[in-house]
Structure 1
Amino acid sequence: MSKFGDLISLNIPILLDFYTDWNEPSKAMHPVLRDVAAAIGDRGKVIKIDVDKNEELATALRVKGLPTLMIYKGGEMVWRQSGEQDANTLIGIMKEFT
């Protein structure tokens, strides 16, 4: 969990994608998140977190629906949404926090 604390404390927006490989909406987000990462470049990070491998973290953050997307900046959660999102929406939200 300490790695998570270090990660979210960065002063750039960190988009977390909580997913599983067996969840179709989660899998549909993979290319979208690649596009977001490419568009944001070094002004932010996109990190995928497999809920099956990180159950303790997912439980602590009350992840219920998949995919669940969160943006952290400077240690604070600044945005959260469950369900699929399009790349342009996510890029716009990430830019708000750069």
Structure 2
Amino acid sequence: MGIIHPSTKDFDQLLQANEVVLVDFWATWCGPCLMLAPIIEEISKKYEGKAVVAKVDVDVERALAEHYQIMSIPTVLVFKKGKLAGREIGAAAASVYEAMIEKAL
């Protein structure tokens, strides 16, 4: 499946349709976000079939970023059964995001 790019209108459907979802809130102008991109890509491959990985551009989907109170990017959220299960602000090592997913699985 790879990384998906949900819009504000289909985001809730994404959360309801999948057990575990990791969402990277980012922007094209954000240096740390660009450094995090390959890590998120690897996680999407590693957890294919176990968790869905999504990226949300905060400049495109402002309402979604506001709804989840994204004040700083990158911010990575993990949802389990549609409910927020974890939040990491700033770029971190892959192991941090993997631990968030493992906890939600």
The TM-score, its normalising length taken from structure 1, stands at 0.92
SS of 1:43 mapped into structure 2: coil
CA RMSD, 1 decimal: 1.2
SS of 1:41 mapped into structure 2: coil
SS of 1:71 mapped into structure 2: strand
2:97 paired with 1:90: yes
Q: Distance in 1 between matches of 2:18 and 2:56?
A: 20
* C-alpha distance after superposition, 1:49-95 (max 9, x if no partner): 00000011111111110001100111100001110111122112212
* Structure 2 unmatched runs, 5+: 1-7
Deviates more, 1:6-15 or 1:19-28: 6-15
The partner residue of 1:63 within 65, 70, 93 is 70
The partner residue of 1:80 within 83, 87, 91 is 87
Deviation at 1:9, TM superposition (A): 1.8
Q: Which residue of 2 aligns with 1:19?
A: 26
Q: Distance in 2 between matches of 1:56 and 1:41?
A: 28
The TM-score, its normalising length taken from structure 2, stands at 0.86
* Structure 1 unmatched runs, 5+: none
Q: How many residues align?
A: 98
